[in-house]
Structure 1
Amino acid sequence: MWIQILLITAIVVLAAFMMRRTGADSHLAIRRLLMMLFVVVAVASVLFPQWLSWLANLVGVGRGTDLVLYGLIMIFLAFVYTQYRRNIALQRQLTLLARKIALLEAEQLESDRRRPHD
């Protein structure tokens, strides 16, 4: 009983933390819906662990814990892929920013050279 309360509390707290607005979320509504679905499934699996075994048998997996493991592996791979894509986008932005700064500094240096010295 206590472990169920602890797990459900942890699930809800983590979900609330992950659903915070970060300012750059273009898919915030989809992310929130998926997070709420995850919370419902996670709480249900804590309260009724036998349904995972039933679902695992339904899809051809031996145990509910194996089904959870396979699901976590898929989520992890999706996370790695999205982080990779985000990293590439950030690298492009950083490159463009560095180029703009270099051009502005070169322009400033050129204007300083052309200006007569007092």
Structure 2
Amino acid sequence: MQWIKLPLVIAAVLILLMVFRYRQRVELRAGSRILALALGVVAVVSIINPAIPQALANALGVSRGTDLMLYALIVVFALTTLGLYFRVRETDHHLRQLVRSIAIDEAIRKDGPPRPEQASTEREMR
């Protein structure tokens, strides 16, 4: 066994442990956990025996196992980026609703509830 394999395997296992240990803060869903576990196992197996990804690459028509791993990394990166984008967009939407609600509550607290004649005047102005 080459000396570099041991730190790489330890790093992959530590990353997996961190992902599952701090799951309350990371908020991984079940599908994401399964995918993370599968990627971790693939990483460890690929580090220990590089012939396995090479055989898989040959079966899929890719010239090298490293190219296959790069393609998989690109797909995982794209999916992660999309997931993060949609989560941030949803958070922005919730934040906008919260800010509007707070602004309305503060306006009502400051000026009191709108009077019926004031509401009809505002509608006519639009």
TM range (shorter): 0.7 to 0.9
Query: Are 1:84 and 2:85 an aligned pair?
Result: yes
Q: For residues 9-34 of structure 1, what are the alpha-carbon distances to aligned partners after superposition, in whole Å with 9 as ceiling and x for unaligned?
A: 1101111222222357372x222222
The normalised TM-score by structure 2 is: 0.80
Calculate the TM-score normalised by the size of structure 1. Answer: 0.85
| Structure 2: segments with no counterpart, 5+ residues | 113-126
Q: 1:30 to 1:8 in 2, by over 3 A?
A: same
1:40-76: CA deviation from partner (whole Å, max 9, x where unpaired): 1111101100111110010010000000110000011
Could you tell me which amino acid in structure 2 is paired with residue 22 of structure 1?
A: Q
Structure 1 residue 39, shift from structure 2 partner: 1.5
Identity %: 35
The answer on 1:58 being equivalent to 2:90 is no
In structure 1, give the amino acid aligned to 2:8: L
Amino acid at match of 2:91: L
Q: Where do residues 1-118 of structure 1 align in structure 2 (5 Å cutoff)?
A: 1-19=2-20, 20-22=22-24, 25=27, 27=29, 29-111=30-112
Corresponding pairs, count = 110
In the alignment, is the contact (CA less than 8 A) between 2:16 and 2:36 conserved in 1?
A: yes
Quote the Cα distance in structure 1 between the aligned partners of 2:28 and 2:73: 24
In structure 1, stretches of 5+ residues that fail to align are 112-118
- Equivalent residues of 2:19, 2:26 under 8 A apart: no
Once the two structures are superposed, what CA deviation does each residue of 1:87-117 show, in whole Å capped at 9, x if it has no partner? 1101101100110110111011023xxxxxx
